[in-house]
Amino acid sequence: MAEPKTKYDRQLRIWGEQGQAALEKASVCLLNCGPTGSETLKNLVLGGIGSITVVDGSKVEVGDLGNNFMVDEASVGQSKAKCVCAFLQELNDAVKAKFVEEYPKALIETNPSFFSQFTLVVATQLVEDSMVKLDRICRDANVMLIFARSYGLTGLVRISVKEHTVIESKPDHFLDDLRLNNPWPDLRRFTETIDLNTSDPVVHKHTPYVIILVKLAEEWAKSHDGSLPSTRGEKKEFKELIKARMTAMDEDNYKEAMEASFKLFAPRGISSNLEQIINDPCAEVDSSSSDFWVMVAALKEFIANEGGGEAPLEGSIPDMTSSTELYINLQKIYQAKAEADFLAIEHRVRSILKKIGRDPDSILKTKIKNFCKNARKLTICRYRVIEDEFNSPVQPELQKYLTDEDYSIAVGFYILLRAADRFAANYNSFPGQFDGVMDEDISRLRTTAVSLLSDLGCNGSTVTEDLINEMCRYGAAELHAVAAFIGGIASQEVIKLITGQFIPMSGTFIFNGIDHKSQLLSL
């Protein structure tokens, strides 16, 4: 068997050993192993999830051979959960796999405690009533939950978690933490040892842009009552000031300083998002608080004291034109400041733990260090209870989606998926599922959709006739291409939730296979 580091090499570069360890510890339950569920679990098994439990009470039918690669002709008549489980186990023998031959709806009704053993539940192809019940069960047990469903040319994915905290949010674009507009004493002292007016051309063209910007910002502030450039005109003037210091056209460091000057204009202090987090009621910690909130409480104290209104320094600097000696010295100054900030926060974390009656060493040093490094990028995701969304969606948002041409198909599918569940509850079949009653089903689905919209406070709103016809044409079929896409989205969100890295999507994700569009509805 391949070594884990070789086997998972490519993904380790994305979420690291810490993320992989979290995946390998996780236990995931799949409800219904049709194509949507099988595709979701396939991605997780290949990624090295710790263990899987497949729950499905149905047998493999001939129709399953056309849309599920994880069953074959020899599987017909056998337990679907057993066949899919065996196939998935073949993909990665390091994953523990078991199956439960029972219908998810019955399990939700009769054995709610079953779900408390899992890290996360992926519920596919559930109708509204079962979704509401399962959501309540998983929230009470603090188990993460993802709903996924494909239906003809549409599908949805919805996360449901009370609270999900992210330390490593890994945003695509984020300003380097260089403190150019607020240098600490050691950085200031270091820049004072550098002469920008040196007559040595080699030294002049190898002075890092960080030093150039800090020194010229000080120079600017002296002649502008202590203020840094703020207006568009002043920023342009400051760039001209940098340009005027160039002594040759090939001085890349000065060009970098001009390009990076926007980093100097960033506001001091913490972002509004971080301010919201440190002032969250959960930051008032007690013995039941999570490690995350204990560290947030320490961060809040640090910002008010040692940090002087700033978060802990990250401690890394980007590549830049520089002599090796200057770059290494600059790097050491940033690393030393980051280490000092970390030690101050670590001390506060230990003090808080002691104060709330927990073991002062219960939070690992590596965890605190990682928290400090990512403090500016912390994120908290809280999701509405499914029942609340179903019974009382956010009215202004729903009205906006219904009247906005860009969202009309996505919200139309959302309404029709819910209307299809009501239809099934009333008529014991999904619209268009049986031949010969298509016209009657179209009429019934239209009436059901109008009734649902009325219940949601959208009297007079309708869904287009074309979309109603499409929905009936689908006959609740799971097309493999759509199921694979929805499964891919669902498994991606599972990985985000389990690793605690990247920001999971908020709202209900709707795939529109007619126009090849994906949209999030915040209801």
* pLDDT tens by residue, 155-179: 999 999 999 999 999 998 888 899 9
Residue 488: per-residue pLDDT: 97
CA–CA dist 449, 97 (Å, integer): 40
15-19, 95-99, 345-349 — which is least confidently predicted? Answer: 15-19
Helix (H, G, I), strand (E, B) or coil at 385: coil
Pairing of strands 144-151, 120-124: parallel
Can you name the residues that pair with 203 across neighbouring β-strands? none
| pTM exceeds cut of 0.85 | yes
CA–CA dist 49, 157 (Å, integer): 20
Residue 268: per-residue pLDDT: 86
Whether 285 has a pLDDT exceeding 70, the answer reads yes
Pairing of strands 51-55, 144-151: unpaired
pLDDT band for position 3 (50/70/90)? low
Residue 2: per-residue pLDDT: 55
Residue 64: per-residue pLDDT: 85
| Identity at 455, one-letter amino acid code | D
DSSP string, 14-83: HHHHHHHHHHHH-EEEEE--SHHHHHHHHHHHHTT-SEEEEE--PBP-GGGGGT-TT--GGGTTSBHHHH
Q: What is the rounded average pLDDT of the residues 444-466?
A: 91
Q: What is the rounded average pLDDT of the residues 478-496?
A: 97
pLDDT band for position 4 (50/70/90)? low
Residues in the chain, total: 523
CB atoms within 10 A of CB 245: 17
The mean pLDDT value of the chain amounts to: 93
Residue 1: per-residue pLDDT: 45
Tens of pLDDT along 362-401? Answer: 999 999 999 999 999 999 999 999 999 999 999 999 999 9
Tens of pLDDT along 411-437? Answer: 999 999 999 999 999 999 999 988 778
Share of the chain above pLDDT 90, in %: 83
